[in-house]
Chains A and B, each alone.
Chain A
Amino acid sequence: MNPPLHVQVRLPLDRFDLDVEFETTHRVTGVFGVSGSGKTTLLEAVAGLRRGARGRIRLGAAEWLDSERRLRVPPERRHVGYVPQDSLLFPHLDVLGNLNAGRGRALRGENQVEGTLETVVRVLDLAPLLRRPVTTLSGGERQRVALGRALCSGPRLLLLDEPLASLDAGLRRKVLPFLHRVQAEFSLPILLVSHNPVEVQALCEDLIVLREGRIIARGEPRAVLTRPEVFPLAEHEGFENMLPARVIESGPETSRVTLGHGAEGPALTVPRSTLPAGSPLLLSIPADEIVLGLEHPPGLSARNAVPARVEQVQRVGAVCLVTARVAPDTPPVVAEVTADATSELHLVPGTELFLLIKTTAVTLYEDPSGA
């Protein structure tokens, strides 16, 4: 189990005050909210970069801030690995120089760092980049180096600010697996802020929703993101279903996968995967791309008609979010339909239906290493 991270911070901002309190022992805790809701400020306060922050911040036995006792540990002694949204790689150093920027503290600290650099280079696949000047890196490479630099500094807590937000869809697909590998290989608590529903669902176990500096919801990411007060915050991104799956076989243009971690889940036809049969991967399906049918329609262009049972129907503004389960061991799937459709189909918990999913609506997040 992770050392508990306790954060209680008050900090006046331009339009409102940041005023949050939470404690978490989860591996990856997400902070979700629209731009300007105070997410980055919260991370900076935890890192010790906001002098105006008042309150208490502790990680396990380490006290970083206690305004009542006038205690404020400077950032260099907090042992956090901070990965800002714009990477902030030092332009006067090459990639290796950036990775080594925090090694001094790592070597002085009591944390186990033997082989850290080697592990980081392997996990983030940085070996081909080591001697490159950072000005020549692509966006995805920059994020990987920034992540590696933070990991090499012997951190006790990793702070990630929108790790995928500055990347286009293609790069997100490439970088997300690296974040998963970091999660798997380094036993480090992670605090991640994001306005991207894909990111938080793919990575977080616990999600805190921030609006105008205050926590308005908290819980398991999928459940929290479909709540009526949270769903509109995803803006145009809407809701993305993030579903674990496993490759069965690949044809020239498409692949067959089973939903869930095992092999018994329902099968789907998705865009072609480069992974060998049996490999795990993540599917992302936008909720508004899923069509609901009460019967299996004949003569259908959509390749997938998956039987499911409705668990929950939530009205959110003009639309309804229908949560349906396809298999006992897979996360439920959320479909966004109009309120009219919901009432016409008499959708209520327990209704049996088919989820109609176009192959092209599915995005694959695959880790080429199979890790």
Chain B
Amino acid sequence: MSHAAWEVLRNTLLWAGLATALVMVPGTLVAYVLARRDFRGKRVVSTLFSLPLVLPPTAVGYLLLRTFAVDGPLGRDTLGIDLDVILSWKAVVIACAVMATPLVVRTARVSFEAVDPRYEDMARTLGHGRAATFLRYTLPMARRGLMAALILGFTRAVGEFGATIILAGNIPGRTQTLATAIFSAQQAGRESEANVLLVIALVAGFAAVYASEALSQKHAAAAARR
């Protein structure tokens, strides 16, 4: 495998990993609140967090571009400092994170909803406060679903194209990912390079989905035993 292909794979995994890490903690908390609490506007919040799933990725990318533009809400003129996001590796991470958010939140929410809240009541009567109950009982009981959320979020981030190419561009060695590299190679007629990248994508994708399937099946079996 060529040095360039290695670099693309390494960058893709690194940025997708960072994006997943960025999403997981807040995404899990939002999912827990959506699973457990009733509040005004809950449906609106839930819809907003699902929006990137149904919008064209390029629309999300353009929205992010407007947000981080010099005169945007998170741009230099507003913040007073330049985050230097657009056309950088940070843009890849942010685009991937936003696009992965719906899958993480929805999957984590379902996994929390599968935990009977009476277990949390039980933990409270045993002397654990809310935070300890969440960390020591809710999280471990929802762990398989949360693992699935993590894997799905990560794979979504790895495969992200539309939002990334608008916010981060497709600069070899700087912002190019597996998805955008295949696009470039195919467009330029570099077939052997595209083929190598395709095989890499196939192997990585298969492994991720296979792992997630195995986890969710174990989860279902564990739920059936209870």
Contacts and interface: CB of A to CB of B under 8 A. Distances in A.
A48 B137 CA distance: 19
Given A92-B141, A135-B225, A49 B126 contact: no
B124 interface: yes
Contacts of B226: 91, 135
A90 B119 CA distance: 7
A92 B135 CA distance: 13
Interface in B169-202: none
Interface in A231-280: none
Contacts of A214: none
Interface stretch (A73-81, A116-124, A195-203): A73-81
B76 interface: no
A349 interface: no
Interface string B128-147: 11000000010011010000
A49 B127 contact: no
Chain A CB within 10 Å — which of B122, B140, B222 has the most? B122
A76 B118 contact: no
Contact of B121 (A75, A78, A108, A149): A75
Interface in B86-138: 116, 118-119, 121-129, 137
Nearest to A146: B122
Given A76-B129, A90-B141, A91-B222, A49 B124 contact: yes
A287 interface: no
Contacts of A88: 116, 118-119, 122
B60 to A, nearest CB: 37
B123 A48 contact: no
A74 B127 CA distance: 9
Interface residues of A, number: 29
B124 A75 contact: yes
Nearest to B140: A92
Contacts of B121: 44, 47, 49, 75
B117 to A, nearest CB: 10
Given A88-B119, A135-B226, A105 B124 contact: no
Contact of B126 (A74, A91, A101): A101
A105 B128 CA distance: 8
A180 to B, nearest CB: 24
Contacts of B123: 90, 101
Nearest to B119: A88
Chain A CB within 10 Å — which of B124, B125, B129, B141 has the most? B125
Chain A CB within 10 Å — which of B118, B121, B143, B226 has the most? B121
A30 interface: no
Interface in A88-107: 88, 90-92, 101-102, 104-106
10 contacts: A49-B121, A76-B124, A88-B118, A90-B122, A101-B123, A105-B127, A135-B222, A150-B126, A153-B125, A153-B126
Given A101-B123, A106-B127, 16 more contacts: A47-B121, A48-B124, A76-B124, A76-B127, A76-B129, A77-B127, A84-B118, A88-B116, A90-B119, A90-B122, A90-B123, A92-B140, A102-B127, A104-B128, A135-B225, A153-B126
Interface of A: 44, 47-49, 74-82, 84, 88, 90-92, 101-102, 104-106, 108, 135, 149-150, 153-154
